[in-house]
Amino acid sequence: AAALREAIDARTTEGILQGGTPYREIGVRRLATQQVRGLSVTPRKVLGPKVQSLRERISAQIAGRR
C-alpha cells in the first residue's frame, strides 16, 4: 500500500484498459437497479440548483410586485 501511495504521489502510475465485464456476470437485477438509481439521482443533481435559482427569481419578482 505504501508503494502505491508513493507512486500516486510521484504521478508514475498508469491505467490499464482491460476487456469489459460481460453483462451476464454483472446480473440483470443489478444492472436494472443501477439504471433506475442513476436515472432518478441525475436529474436532481443536475437540475436541482437551476430549479432552486428559478424559484428564487420568481419569488423575488412576485414580492417586488406587492
pLDDT band at residue 63 using 50, 70 and 90 as cut-offs:
confident
CA–CA separation, 64 vs 16, rounded Å? 58
Query: Closest Cα partner for 41 from 52, 31, 53, 33?
Result: 33
The number of distinct structural domains making up the chain is 1
Provide the domain limits for residue 36. 24-66
pLDDT, tens only, 40-62? 777 777 778 888 889 999 999 88
pLDDT, tens only, 6-49? 999 999 999 888 888 888 999 999 999 998 888 777 777 777 88
pLDDT at 11: 94
Please report whether residue 39 resides in a domain: yes
Please report whether residue 9 resides in a domain: no
pLDDT at 48: 80
Please report whether residue 11 resides in a domain: no
